[in-house]
């Protein structure tokens, strides 16, 4: 800070315990308390970082100054932690703004007889804390976006499993909307499993895909092309009457690609292609199927 930095430095160092106590009391009164041990650590770390910035003569008008790098680091860590724990951006910002009252009170005690100095120092401290609060909101939002992105990726992976149905036969049950990102994920997972298992056939089941338009068809064609480039072949199952009509009306060309109405039909064809014959055995309790190599 350019002016009155000595007074603020004294407040943050000599009267540190008092400021911390008042800050924590303010947090508790405002409903922002998270537990004594965590708050003592967070408030202590942030107060030390602010003191370092004051001693380095950081400008309150430019929070990007190198003098405030430690403060930004502490705030970023604090925001990321609270975002992961489900706190809101308002709660995170309120944590910083709660420091205003203790600092203003300390400055008022220091400059009780000097209104001009009190006004200048109060303005500088207020500007700094406002910048800090705004920074926490920005970093909180970035952290939440990263968390949401990771969760979406995990959900995509869970919603597109590659299942080994039989020796040499893999299946990918598609559920929900098929977009570019999901197509890429399916393609990578499926191709990797083809390499790992040496499978010759992959069934792409779209029973759970609500609608098929030109874009979805293009994604399916890309996936089939990638499978064939790996030396395997693909069968698309789950072609319901409505989807068949839509494909015809849109003029989508699936020539050369084997399609089946159900996953069972696709599996039966896949077994035949891989040299297995499905036969019905003698009826027993619960029924049985016999599988033999051709």
pLDDT, tens digit, 9 for 90 and up, residues 199-252:
999 999 998 888 888 888 888 888 899 999 999 999 999 998 888 888 888 888
Q: What is the pLDDT of residues 146-174, one digit of tens each?
A: 888 777 766 665 557 888 888 899 999 88
Looking at residue 71, its pLDDT comes to: 92
Q: Pull the structure tokens for residue 8.
A: 């603020």
Q: Return mean pLDDT, the chain.
A: 83
Return d(Cα 124, Cα 32) in angstroms, integer: 25
DSSP string, 166-178: ETTEEEEEEES--
β-strand pairing of 201-208 with 233-237? parallel
**CA-based nearest residue to 237, from 282, 271, 202:** 202
Whole-number Å distance between alpha carbons of 80 and 78: 6
109-116, long-range: CB within 8 Å, 24+ apart, which pairs? 110/7, 110/10, 110/11, 111/7
Residue found by looking up tokens 């293009």 in the block: 218
Burial class of 270 by CB neighbour count within 10 A (0 to 12, 13 to 18, 19+):
buried
Mean pLDDT of 41-64: 84
Helix (H) or strand (E) holding 208: strand 201-208
Cβ-Cβ contacts under 8 Å for 253 (sequence gap 6 or more): none
Report the percent of the chain where pLDDT is more than 70.
87
Single pTM value for the model:
0.55
H helices then E strands: how many in the chain? 11, 7
Express as a percent the part of the chain with pLDDT over 90.
25
Residue 87: is its pLDDT beyond 60? yes
pLDDT at 276: 79
What are the structural domains, with CATH classification, of the chain?
5-151 (1.10.490), 163-293 (3.30.750.24)
């Amino acid at each position: 800070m350019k002016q009155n930095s000595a007074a603020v430095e004294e407040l943050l160092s000599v009267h540190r315990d008092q400021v911390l106590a008042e800050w924590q009391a303010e947090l508790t009164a405002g409903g922002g308390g998270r537990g004594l041990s965590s708050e003592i650590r967070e408030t202590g770390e942030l107060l030390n970082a602010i003191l370092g910035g004051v001693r380095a003569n950081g400008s309150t008008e430019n929070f990007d100054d190198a003098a405030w790098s430690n403060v930004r680091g502490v705030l970023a860590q604090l925001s990321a932690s609270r975002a992961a724990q489900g706190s809101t951006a308002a709660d995170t910002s309120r944590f910083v703004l709660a420091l205003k009252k203790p600092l203003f009170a300390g400055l008022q005690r220091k400059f009780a007889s000097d209104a001009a100095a009190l006004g200048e120092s109060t303005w500088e401290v207020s500007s700094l804390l406002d910048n800090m609060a705004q920074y926490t909101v920005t970093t909180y939002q970035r952290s939440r976006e990263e968390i949401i992105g990771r969760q979406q990726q995990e959900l995509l992976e869970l919603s597109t499993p590659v299942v080994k149905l039989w020796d040499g036969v893999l299946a990918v049950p598609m559920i929900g909307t098929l977009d570019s990102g999901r197509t890429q994920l399916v393609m990578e997972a499926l191709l990797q499993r083809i390499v790992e298992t040496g499978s010759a056939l992959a069934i792409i089941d779209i029973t759970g895909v609500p609608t098929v338009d030109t874009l979805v068809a293009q994604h399916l064609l890309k996936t089939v092309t990638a499978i064939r480039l790996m030396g395997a072949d693909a069968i698309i199952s789950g072609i319901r009457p409505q989807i068949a009509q839509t494909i015809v009306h849109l003029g989508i060309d699936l020539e050369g690609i084997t399609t089946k109405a159900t996953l069972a039909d696709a599996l039966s064809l896949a077994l035949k292609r891989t040299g297995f014959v499905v036969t019905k055995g003698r009826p027993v309790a619960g029924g049985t199927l016999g599988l033999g190599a051709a």
